[in-house]
Structure 1
Amino acid sequence: MSREQLDCLHADDDAAYVLGALDPAEQQAFRAHLPGCAPCRSAVAELAVMPGLLARLLPENDADVAAPAPVLPALMERARSERRVRRWRDRFAGFLSAAVLGLGAVAIAFPGSPDPDRVLTMAAAPGVPVQATLQVTGRGWGTSIDTTCRYDGAEDVEAPSASVTYELWAVDSTGGQVLVSSWQQVTGREITVAGSTKLGLDDIARLEVRTETGQPILTSRP
């Protein structure tokens, strides 16, 4: 509903005009108003069928007999009521839309809302038979990182038959390092471990999987 429709002083005169119930001065004023008011023109067009409907109420054999006195006021009041209902309905719809948009804006701006998950495949150092993917989620307090890792190589110094310890480290733009998680890796078995850091997602320059001796074997950038 436009501001012009809401503020129109003649919004309730359309039905009376169509039914010929306005006095001459009011009718002249409404006619002068119509060319500049699209909503009123539209309303008059919608109500233009009312005189024909009213004519059907007259006796077929006496076209000169006037309609019963209550008919005209009742039709006028019904038309006006329907117009008022439409205006209030449109006002409420506009208010509801604005409220929904406002709530959406609040939800978007709420600091605790998590960023969309990022799934990263880590790049392995040459000759390292280790695979890992990271599910990285930015949160209001920092970043959560779930690591899924698998070692498929032969048993060696870095992967004895029992297990080997791996660590996930987050490195920021200044070179600062934060331990995110650590786990015991067994040959041929896939392991998923959850971890987190107080670093924000945008503050992480790179993520590294290292052996317990500190040797980087996998690297990824968020």
Structure 2
Amino acid sequence: MTDRDGRPDARREPELRREHDAVHEWDAAYVLGGLSTDERARFERHLCGCEACTASVADLAGLPAVLRLLPVDDAVAIAEEARVASPAPAPVETRVGAAEPEPDPEESRAGTPAPVADPSRGSRTPARRRPGRPAPRPRASGRPSSPRRRALVGAAAVLAVVLLAGGGYALGSSSGRVAEPTASVTTPTPAVPVAMMSLVGGAVTADLSVTATPWGTRFDWECAYAADLEGTGVYDLVVEEIDGTRTVVATWDSAPGGAAGLAASSKLPLDRLRSVEITAADSTTVLTRTTL
């Protein structure tokens, strides 16, 4: 929220700071899809007014594409290491100790001395309480795990195996059969498929989808090459803004059989983009193009 001069409303600064402190570590969980529906909605509201968190999410936007390159066996090993390295929470009594004995009001009035605290428990004596008031319940000393911890230990490890590896490995499966894909925990912004027109004699054909995100625009695409071009070139994904500015958002090598699962992100919002093109990296010749 801003004042009439467009500056941040100083009255809301403490509230915004508290919210930032509470959710600023959710960036990786958000990118990996490790937040619950409510957490995701809360974080997206925060992104609308926080440049630091928006920049952090933009920096992490390529993480899912990187994890797709992780071999399944390595991902399984990481998941197992994360599971073993995550200690189980200690029992409450081992963290807070047994409750100190409370003095009996009747005994105190009769002249019976109040019990002395055990020296091994430190010099602090137990607080007196009114008769009839129940003793306070001991509280655990540790904080609950944050969504980022859940995501990095759970999502980055397990999702890297199950989701980002295409659901092709079943954790804990003795038969090694492929697990059925499951629905995502969160509901991401729908990707919009767009048709790309192949130019230059069909040298490159491509299928593209674009997704508007809080940090800009995400692109997912796959492409195939003419037989005489397979494995021989380097290509750029280029976006053109409404004002004519052109920006390369991705570069990749061709490979036999085409390329699938390609992904990239840009800080440019979708409504500022006019077109998306694939060109040869050493040329301005447009091989395939679509207008947004």
> Shorter-chain TM-score category?
0.3 to 0.5
- TM-score by length of structure 1 reads 0.45
Bigger share in strand? 1
Choose between structure 1 and 2 for higher RCO, CA contacts under 8 A separated by at least 6 residues: 2
